[in-house]
Structure 1
Amino acid sequence: MHYSSILPDVIKVADAASEKVLHIYESNFKVEYKEDQSPITAADIASHEVIVQGLRSISRDIPILSEEGKSIPWEERRHWHRFWLIDPIDGTKDFTQRTGEFTVNIALIENGEPVMGVVTAPALKEAYWGVVGEGAYKRDRTGKVHRVRVAEPKEAKRVVASKNHLNEETRQFIDTLGDHELVQAGSSLKFCRIAEGHADIYPRLGPTCEWDTAAAHAVLLAAGGRIETLEGEPLKYGKENVLNPFFVAAGSWYF
């Protein structure tokens, strides 16, 4: 498959979902809670529906796994060599707290690896995308598109962290890095900040699911970065258990 040939259409799908999300974000929306007590809003559902419809118009042969449609049995998923992996809204807490740092994420997975990803930040009016091996790009709030690349770190590492998930294990890991500066970011924007050279490393020693990381993982790979588990293994997708192991995202200098 020539990923670059379908990338513009995937960006259009993400933009359409972002418009729906932003309309609800700017309204007086209600917050409900799933069985695991994670928040969900009408924006999650609306984004899911727009993305699924849009991706099916691109290719009806590629199956779709979404956070809001995750009840597909393993016996079916285990045969997927290529599939779309989407998070209609990553950072729902950022959405409900109105920080603006939530994202819409679409990834294409092939043989367990992210090969293409699109990440939009509707409230910030930013978007990132990339095809692994072909480069990563950012569209800023003015609409200008430019290529992005991970930075070579200076002596003091810029460590990107989450205000909602900065636990003690993560703090201890950060302390091992020596001189550092904390860079706050929400949702999958943490990976994108590294991809565009505004941060150097993101340790995640807490729970995430495959759809939380896949799209931005592809962008980071396309920008020259990497993600590895604490055991030095690449982060894989399409597992029976959709939980990710703990990992570190950074430019290639770290690994």
Structure 2
Amino acid sequence: MKYKILITFFSLFFYLLSNATPTKVMIRAKAKDAKFIGSSIGGAYVTVKNKLTGEILSQGKTKGGTGNTTLIMKTARERDMMITDDTTSGFLAELDIAEPVFVSIQVVAPVNKKQASVTATTEIWVIPGKDILNDGVIVEIPGFIVDILTPRTHQFISLKTLSQKKVNIQANVVMMCGCTISKGGLWDAEKIEVNGIVKKNDTIIDQIKLVSTSPNLFEGNFITNETGTYEVIISAYAPNTGNTGVDKINYIITQ
């Protein structure tokens, strides 16, 4: 009896395998209010799973460029109009399936920026032999990438070295696709609020506003006369889109 079950199982397995049809699904990650997440920012990591069984059917990183700025950001889109081309970043999943499969698509992006990475998912039916190409499945990734440049993580700063007791704060802020934020630019720095919270020994002691001083760079400062362990939390917020981003660092002020 046991052998009959095994024979039946393997017969079914090889039947399904022999009747599997290669089916392609193009998957792309697009930054909210911006362009596609491509190789220049490290890409997005895509995992395609059988929703019922949890089996991983395909996985890998998106590769390619961020796309055509005019087409994506400045052109009114009509039905059936594509916003991608052969150079636009994406991941081509190739699934061998014998029958329709309901799949879960998970996208982690941008994969190389851990403090900014967002995990977004969607679900679709994939039908054998019915490729999903062209723009494919586009998963939106909201937010900003915020990197605090100054002070550095766990930096020791002496009060004696501070001019007028000012601690300078610098942060790099870009769209999730790496697109540039600048004054008067397509992604206008003056429409993004970048603010900081300063904590000493886990207590908030100051709040500051950072201003754009050059593309992607925002700066501010606060005054202190005390030594101790400090934390800075920098946030970016765009009222028109709801995009947000945060970075945190800890440092020490000594005599």
TM-score with structure 1 setting the length: 0.26
Q: Which has the higher strand share?
A: 2
Q: Which has the higher helix share?
A: 1
TM-score with structure 2 setting the length: 0.26
